[in-house]
Structure formats: structure tokens, C-alpha cells
Amino acid sequence: MHQENSRRDMIKKVATMALASTTLSSLSSRVSAHDLAVGAHLKGKINHSVCAWCYNIPLDDLCKAAKKIGIPSIDLVDPKDFDILKKNDMITAMVASNGPEWGITKGFNNVAHHDKLEEYFKHYIDETAKAGFTNLICFSGNRNGMDAQQGIDNCTKGLQRIIGYAEKKKVTLVMELLNSKVDHHDYQCDHTAWGVALCKSLDSPNFKLLYDIYHMQIMEGDVIRTIRDNHEYIAHYHTGGVPGRHEIDETQELYYPAIMKAIYETGFKGHVAQEFIPAHEDKIASLAAAIGICDIG
């Protein structure tokens, strides 16, 4: 009898796992670009965006496709391309900021960069505010042997030079959390705790974090608990399948409907941007399916 009960329990477990997989697959398969384009209504609990760089298509074409799906925003657009957004009646929920002398590897944790960063970011803050946008991305830079506290201290000093200006212009500087294990080796802002410590050190409502779900799953996991515990310091979210940074469907290890539900329950009013690299040939269909997965009821 004991063996028979164990066998029944195992059958139930297998059936439950199969049902969960089928549910996620059906979400992907039933939400196509065509379905959303012809009038399927998004539920409105999540504000959707999509990162421009992932799709390798002209920004104008991405705007048109995104708008049909119901996405109002394109992430990581440079001010020189704001006119394309305006033409398509789109916004950018996160303005790009990649200069020739700074970026992910060279950021605010190095005091030698502070003079150029102050000049550069005041210009980008002006452009962001002029266009009516509110979030401007920034980066810590690589460690290069620097310890965690020194990195926080240096970033604080550099950001203090521009944060008052950002506050005046109603622009929020948003530092992205990136993984240093796979994609951005030696990047310093690679754990939520470090980013939160910097937020507390700077102590400004106009400095927050971009919580990239893909990157933080790689670095620390425990995604939902971390979001719940630190949501007040998070201005924006990015998605991506783990491993591989491809579609956020059943081919990867995260269950995005539950993550979106947790984000919504924190009272979050910002945007969640798709930042996965499509593995399928029909990139826009992959994007539409991802919006369907994240569009919780």
C-alpha cells in the first residue's frame, strides 16, 4: 500500500509540473503580434516598455510594431533619436547615456571621471527634461580592484555634483544593476544590497535603481523577496530569460507572471521593459508573447 501511495503521489507531481509547463506555453502561443494588433486589450496593471537594442531593427519600425502591441515606450533611446519617438507618439521610460569616454565600465566609482561626467550628465539631464521624460540611466563602472565601500563613497561624491541639478529638472538618475558573472565582468553595482547602500548614502528621491531581473537572477536569485524588500529604491525593471537572455517563456528558469504580480503588489507605477534577445526568427511575435506573459490579470 505504501508503494502504491508513493506511486500515486509521484503521478500527481508529474501531472502538476506538466500542467504548469502547459499553462506557460499556452500564454506564449496564444498571444501573437497579430492578436494584440487587432484589439486584444492589455489589463493595465503593468506599464510596458521594450529596449531598442535587442531587436536590431530601425527604431521607427520598432515604434510602429510596439504601438500595435500596446507598448507605449521604447527604452534606452538617445536624445538624438527623440524625434522618432515623437513622430510615433511614443515615449522613452529610460533615456540612454553612453558617451565615448564613459559607460558601463567607466562610471561614477572613479573620481578621475567626475569632471567629464558632471558636464556630460548635466547636458543629458537638460535633454531628458526638455523632452518631458523623467528617467536617465547611469552606471557604477568596473571595480578595478576597488573595494565595495570605496566604490559607494566615490559614486556618492560624483553623483552629489549633479543630483541637485537633476532634482531641479525633475529627472531621476537610475543606476542599473548588472551581473558581473556572465556579461559584465568586474562591474561594481552587481548586487541589490550595494545599490541600496548607494541610494541611502546619496539620500535623494531622484536617485534610484534599475532592477534587471535577468542580471539579478544570475547574481543573487531570490528575486521576489528582494523586490518586496527593496521596492522603494527601484525606479524601473528589465526582463530576460535565464540562462541565455532569450525569451521569457517556459524555456528558462524564471516564472515571470509571479514576478510581475509581486512588482504590482508593491504599488509600482513605473515601467517594466522587455530586454531579452529573441532567439526566434519572428522577433516581434516573441515580443508580443512576452507582453502577454507579463500582462497579469
Residue 130 has pLDDT above 90, yes or no: yes
Chain center to CA of 155 = 21
Q: What is the pLDDT of residues 155-191, one digit of tens each?
A: 999 999 999 999 999 999 999 999 999 999 999 999 9
Residue 169 burial (CB < 10 Å; 0-12/13-18/19+)? Answer: middle
Residue 293 has pLDDT above 90, yes or no: yes
Backbone φ and ψ for 272, nearest 5 degrees, come out as -110, 120
Min mean pLDDT across 3-17, 74-88, 113-127, 205-219 is at 3-17
Q: Which fold has domain 32-294?
A: TIM Barrel (3.20.20)
Record the pTM.
0.88
Cell of 5: 501511495
Q: What integer pLDDT is reported at residue 8 of this predicted model?
A: 45
Across residues 235-245, what is the average pLDDT? 98
Q: What integer pLDDT is reported at residue 102 of this predicted model?
A: 82
Mean predicted lDDT score pLDDT of the chain: 89
**Binning pLDDT at 50, 70 and 90, where does residue 17 land?**
very low
DSSP secondary structure string, the chain?
A: -HHHHHHHHHHHHHHHHHHHHHHHHHHHHH--HHHHHTTPPP-SSSEEEEEGGGT-S-HHHHHHHHHHHT--EEESB-GGGHHHHHHTT-B-SSB----TT-SSSS-TT-GGGHHHHHHHHHHHHHHHHHTT--EEEE---B-TT--HHHHHHHHHHHHHHHHHHHHHHT-EEEEEP--TTTTSTTBS--SHHHHHHHHHHH--TTEEEEEEHHHHHHHT--HHHHHHHHGGGEEEEE---TTTS--SSTTSS--HHHHHHHHHHTT--SEEEE-----SS-HHHHHHHHHHHH---
Q: What integer pLDDT is reported at residue 34 of this predicted model?
A: 46
Residue 290 has pLDDT above 90, yes or no: yes
Sequence ranges of the domains in the chain: 32-294
Q: What integer pLDDT is reported at residue 6 of this predicted model?
A: 44
Residue 13 has pLDDT above 60, yes or no: no
% pLDDT > 90, the chain: 84
Asked if residues 245 and 276 have their Cβ atoms less than 8 Å apart, the reply is: yes
Q: What is the pLDDT of residues 53-111, one digit of tens each?
A: 999 999 999 999 999 999 999 999 999 999 999 999 999 999 999 776 789 999 999 99
Residue 204 bridge partners (DSSP): none
Strands 47-51 and 73-75: what pairing? parallel
Min mean pLDDT across 16-25, 71-80, 271-280 is at 16-25
Report the C-alpha dihedral over residues 12, 241, 189, 112, rounded to 10 degrees: 170
Residue 203 has pLDDT above 50, yes or no: yes
**Binning pLDDT at 50, 70 and 90, where does residue 122 land?**
very high
Q: What integer pLDDT is reported at residue 205 of this predicted model?
A: 98
What is the rounded distance in angstroms from the CA atom of residue 27 to the CA atom of residue 220? 27
What is the rounded distance in angstroms from the CA atom of residue 272 to the CA atom of residue 209? 13
Q: What integer pLDDT is reported at residue 40 of this predicted model?
A: 53
Q: What integer pLDDT is reported at residue 41 of this predicted model?
A: 78
What is the rounded distance in angstroms from the CA atom of residue 227 to the CA atom of residue 213? 10
What is the rounded distance in angstroms from the CA atom of residue 175 to the CA atom of residue 168? 19
